[in-house]
Amino acid sequence: MKDNEPIVILIILIILFGLAYEPIKNSSGGSGIWGGSNSNTYSSVGDQNSVGYSPNKPVGESLKEIEDEIKDLQKETSEIVGVKTRSPYYGKVQMSSLSGIWWNDPSFEYLTLYTNLEKTETVKITGWYLKSAVTGYYAIVGRADLLPFPYVKNESDVVLQQGDRVIITKGFSPIGISFRTNMCTGYFEENRTFTPNLPFNCPRPSDEKLPQFSSIHDREEECLDLIDRVSRCTTVTNRFIKDLPDTVTESCKSYLKNQINYNSCVANHFSDSDFPGNEYRIFLNKFGPLWRERSDIINLHDQNGLIVDTISY
């Protein structure tokens, strides 16, 4: 529709309200304060049948038909406004419902963005923002580290591809940054809490290409057994090393302590085709209120302020 169509519809609404008012005036009967007779007034109105009024119908029924037509026009006007405020990314990025809103800790409060993109299609969401339609508060989607290291900022714009998703947390990052997950980021869960949990996709330590630890078969097997006991995405503690039997070689202890961790995982697998994850963790770093605990509408706006998606609760 053209830009002036909402104005035209508004004018039609005004006319319809005027026509609805006329039969109410005439229903008072006689010449009264309105002047003239009912028959004359009906004649002066002319073609009121086109908007639902007929001299052969009760006034209430005619008004009901007029009200229905007005509602239809109001709905069409609302749809026109909706289309004009709708982002070109509408339907391409969608929001989940809000989780953890009842927690006092904002780091448990999050929602998820899902993509519905073509294979070669991308969309940059850095600069988009979430806004409460009730409170008016908003928070901007920032940048993220594509190869994260805790508390080291090397941020880039968040550019989504087909199959990507974004978990946007109201609170603060346990490692001080927003980031894209990868094959090794499950190590970040150790001694930290992420909501929801990070994917545990780390290679098992026993599946890595291991050096030789001893020329003595029993000592070699002993070390391989120890490595096999180490869980995915976990490091070996000093206590674990201290409690090892004296028969364990120093080269084995050194490997357990220094080579089973996030940094070594990245070094060993950075060039793997499946190293990058398809999930971003974005932290808004907000503690105070953004939206109401109940009965709110949250809009996701693009960089031009147009609405990408809406959730309500």
Mean pLDDT (10-residue bins), the chain, 313 residues: 49 52 47 39 40 55 66 52 81 96 92 97 98 96 98 97 98 98 98 96 96 97 98 95 96 98 98 97 94 93 98 94
Q: Cα 299 to chain center, whole Å?
A: 9
Strand 123-124 to strand 110-115: parallel, antiparallel, or no bridges (unpaired)?
A: unpaired
| Closest CA relative to residue 146, chosen from 170, 128, 164, 169 | 164
Place of tokens 């940054």: 177
Q: What pLDDT, on the 0 to 100 scale, is given for residue 32?
A: 38
Ramachandran quadrant class, 5 (left: phi over 0; alpha: psi -120 to 50; beta: rest): alpha
Check if the beta carbon of residue 198 is closer than 8 Å to that of residue 186: yes
Check if the beta carbon of residue 28 is closer than 8 Å to that of residue 35: no
Strand 307-312 to strand 297-301: parallel, antiparallel, or no bridges (unpaired)?
A: antiparallel
Check if the beta carbon of residue 93 is closer than 8 Å to that of residue 300: yes
- Is pTM beyond 0.85? Reply is no
Quick count: other Cβ atoms within 10 Å of Cβ 146?
16
Q: What are the structure tokens assigned to 140, written together?
A: 């901007």
Which residues fall within 8 angstroms of residue 134, CB to CB, at 6 or more apart?
A: 291, 292, 295, 296, 297
Q: What residue spans in the chain does CATH classification 2.60.40.1260 cover?
A: 93-183+272-312
CA distance 74 to 313: 24
Task: Provide the 3-class DSSP secondary structure of residue 310.
Answer: strand
Q: What pLDDT, on the 0 to 100 scale, is given for residue 232?
A: 96
CA distance 156 to 168: 16
Q: What are the structure tokens assigned to 279, written together?
A: 């999930």
The CA-CA-CA angle for residues 120, 126, 127, to 5°, reads: 130
Which residues fall within 8 angstroms of residue 164, CB to CB, at 6 or more apart?
A: 115, 278, 279, 280
Span 93-183+272-312: which CATH code? Answer: 2.60.40.1260
Give the torsion through C-alpha atoms of 304, 2, 91, 112, to 10 deg: 40
Q: Which amino acid is at 200?
A: F
Q: What pLDDT, on the 0 to 100 scale, is given for residue 257?
A: 97
Quick count: other Cβ atoms within 10 Å of Cβ 96?
15
Output the CA–CA distances (angstroms, integers) from residue 171 to 33, 166, 189, 282, in the order listed. 67, 15, 17, 9
Strand 165-169 to strand 276-283: parallel, antiparallel, or no bridges (unpaired)?
A: parallel
CA distance 191 to 234: 10
| Closest CA relative to residue 84, chosen from 201, 2, 18, 191 | 2
Which residues fall within 8 angstroms of residue 18, CB to CB, at 6 or more apart?
A: none
Q: What pLDDT, on the 0 to 100 scale, is given for residue 73?
A: 52
